[in-house]
């Protein structure tokens, strides 16, 4: 089962998750609605630092 279902994952977020397995595991445990909310935040991120904050918030 895909953790993304019908959601596209932004490349920067995928790269950040690949570097942080704890965050990846936390993201995969979220329900579909929560994952969608996180992905919406990632699409609005304007910098690498902002994307990193989203990843850090998963922990």
pLDDT in tens, 1-53: 455 555 689 999 999 999 999 999 999 999 999 999 999 999 999 999 999 99
DSSP H helices, the chain, are 11-18, 21-29, 32-44, 48-57
Q: Reply yes or no on whether the pLDDT at 58 is more than 70.
A: yes
User: Cα–Cα distance between 28 and 47 in angstroms, integer?
Assistant: 23
Q: Characterize 32-48 residue by residue with b for buried, 16 or more Cβ atoms within 10 angstroms of its Cβ, and e for exposed.
A: eeebeebbeebeebeee
């Amino acid at each position: 089962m895909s953790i993304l279902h019908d959601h596209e994952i932004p490349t920067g977020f995928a790269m950040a998750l690949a570097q942080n397995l704890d965050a990846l595991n936390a993201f995969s445990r979220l329900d579909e609605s929560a994952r969608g909310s996180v992905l919406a935040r990632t699409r609005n991120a304007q910098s690498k630092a902002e994307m990193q904050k989203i990843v850090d918030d998963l922990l």
